[in-house]
Amino acid sequence: DVFVPRTDGRPGFDLRTQRPIGYTYLNGFDLGLVYRHDSVSRRRDRSINPHAGRTVYARYDRMANWFIKGFDETNTSFLDETYLSLQYNQLTFDWREYIPLPANNTLALRFYSGWIASKDVDDERVGDFFDFHLGGIPYMRGYTFYSIEGRKALMGQAMWRFPLLSDVGHRFGPLYVDKVFGALYTDVGKAWDGAIGDPDPSYGRKAPLRDVGGQLRLDLISFYSLPTKVEADFAYGIDEIGKQGPWKFYLTVLFGYLDRVDPGE
């Protein structure tokens, strides 16, 4: 709001309510190349329990971003945005190996890494806007999404998945229950900007962060035709500190299981 001189000839000022200013905080262009490999065995329970084989995801991005750093106030009639130019390469790699065990059990191993080849994204005016984030689904579930961030990232996971009810075959109202699987897992990971041995700014730990958790998956059919995948996770952040609390709970109800989140797609 702003005070302006009165126009009715009387002395004083009127309070004029102004609309908020609008501005563009980011202009960007991304040229990406992606490689995908999927040799997971084709089975009836492939989605709920990938049993043998592997998936590989590799991505290269050439980023051209212009991120707002302020306003040009030389013209008092209006404000022009000024931008910080960020031109850099970004690499992402995600390998998942599925090892079959007896009785339809599976040992799943995962290696994930990311690298942004520019220190400019560490500028204090940018913050963690472009960084990799390792918390939450489908990364380290023992920590919240924004709590682990950096322009370099490494994560490893080991998961044991096992059947609880392999062939339920019962209907409950509009829901047909097909299969139920459980899983136990542990993760180690770290995201950082400088050297890998630097302490984490949020947790003060130089070594990778750790978590453990359990998972429940249900394959359903809703209303006779809609594939429905329910996944519930309880995860414990071993190195969690502060008021956040170490326990995290996640629940998703989707058409597929949320195994990977790709910000570039």
Q: Is 60 exposed, middle or buried (0-12, 13-18, 19+ CB in 10 A)?
A: middle
- Max avg pLDDT among 18-22, 122-126, 192-196: 192-196
Q: From the CB of residue 180, how many other CB atoms can be counted at a distance below 10 Å? A: 18
Residue 20 has pLDDT above 70, yes or no: no
Average pLDDT over residues 151-171: 93
Confidence of residue 262 (pLDDT cuts 50, 70, 90): low
Torsion of CA 87, 156, 139, 93, to 10 degrees: 30
Residues 6+ positions from 194 with CB-CB distance below 8 Å = none
Residue 76 has pLDDT above 60, yes or no: no
Q: Which amino acid is at 35?
A: Y
Reported as a single tens digit per residue, the pLDDT across 210-228 is 999 999 999 999 988 899 9
pTM for the model stands at 0.85
Give the H/E segment covering residue 216: strand 209-222
Distances (CA, A) of 132 to 112, 145, 173, 213: 11, 10, 42, 22
* Domains, the chain, ordered by start: 27-254 (2.40.160.50)
